[in-house]
Amino acid sequence: MSKIRKILNKKNKSKIVCLTAYSKNISEEIDKYVDITLVGDSLGSVLYNYSSTRKVTLSEMINHSKSVRLGVKKSLMVVDMPFKTYTTKNIALKNAKKILKETKCDAVKLEGGKKIIKQVEFLIKNKIPVLGHLGLLPQSVKGKFKSKGKTTQEIKQLMSDALLLQKTGVFAIVLECVKTPIAKQITKDLKIPTIGIGSSVHCDGQVLVTDDLIGLNHTNIKFVKKFSNVKKYINSGLKKFAFEVRSKRYPTKKHSY
C-alpha cells in the first residue's frame, strides 16, 4: 500500500499526525511518531527570522528537504512550495519536478483554492501528489494573522474551495485557523482527510511546528501547546560544558588524541 493510500485510509478511522522538520536530526526523531513529515516554509521564521514566509526561496526549501530526507524512513514526506514558485501551471510543474527530483520527497503542498486550481490540476495530471492548504494562508497574509470562517462569504469560499480541491485530486487538505464549526463541517463533507492547525479536534489530523511544541521556538500563537521544554536540557548541557572548560576538567585524556 502506498504512503498516500495509507493517509487516505485514515479518514474517519484514526487521527493523522503531522509535524515539521528542517533537518535530518529532527526528522529522524519525529519519523518514529508521525504519519506525515512536512518541510514547511515556516522555516523562514523559525530558522531565519524572516518576517514572512514570502521571503523563503526554492533553494532554501530544497536544501533543507535534502537533509530531512536522510532522516525519513516511514512517514510521507511533503515539501511546501514557496511563494511565487507556482504562479502559473507551467512554472508550478517545473518547480515541483525540481523539488521531487532533488529532495526525493513524496508530495508537495500549495496554498489556496480556486485561485490556484489550474496549477493543482496540472501537477496532479502530471502524477505529482498535492496536499492542499486552506484557511489562513501565510504566503498571502499582509499584516496580522486572523482566523477564517467568520463571515458568510468566508464560509462559502472555504466550503467551495475544499470541494474543488477534493474534486481536483488532492489527497488531503490542511485547514489553518479555520473556525471550529466550519472545520467540522468541511471535515464531514469531504471524503479526503483534513489536517488541522488551530482548527479544532474535529479535523482528521493535526499539524504543528516541531520547534514550537518542544519549546525551542518562543511563540504566543493560540493553537500552540508546549509539550516539552528542550531549552532546559540544552542549557543544562551548555552550562556543564562551560564549567568544565573553565575549570580544566575537560578535555581529559579520554577525550584527547
Q: Find the mean pLDDT for residues 46-53.
A: 95
Q: Is the pLDDT of residue 204 over 80?
A: yes
Q: Find the mean pLDDT for residues 46-65.
A: 96
Average pLDDT, the chain: 96
| pLDDT band for position 246 (cuts 50, 70, 90) | very high
- How far apart (Å, rounded) are the C-alpha atoms in residues 98 and 223? 33
Q: Find the mean pLDDT for residues 129-158.
A: 93
Per residue, the 3-state secondary structure of 101-157, as one string, reads HHHCCCEEECCECHHHHHHHHHHHHCCCCEEEEEECCCCCCCCCCCCECCCHHHHHH
Residue 143, pLDDT score: 72
pTM of the model: 0.96
Ordered DSSP codes for 4-44: HHHHHTTTTTS-EEEEE-SSHHHHHHHTTT-SEEEE-TTHH
Catalytic status, residue 29: no
Query: Residues 153, 156, 158, 162: what is their CA dihedral angle, to the nearest 10 degrees?
Result: -160
Instruction: Tell me the CATH class for 3-226.
Output: alpha beta
Q: Catalytic pick from 60, 111, 121, 176?
A: 176
Share of the chain above pLDDT 70, in %: 100
Q: Is the pLDDT of residue 226 over 70?
A: yes
Place of cell 543544562: 236
| pLDDT band for position 1 (cuts 50, 70, 90) | low
| pLDDT band for position 219 (cuts 50, 70, 90) | confident
pLDDT digits (tens, 9 = 90+) for 115-142: 999 999 999 999 999 999 999 999 998 7
Weakest-pLDDT range from 1-5, 163-167, 184-188, 205-209: 1-5
Which residue, among 116, 64, 120, has the nearest Cα to 96 in the 3D structure?
A: 120
Taking the domains of the chain in order of start, what are their residue ranges?
A: 3-226, 230-257
| pLDDT band for position 216 (cuts 50, 70, 90) | very high
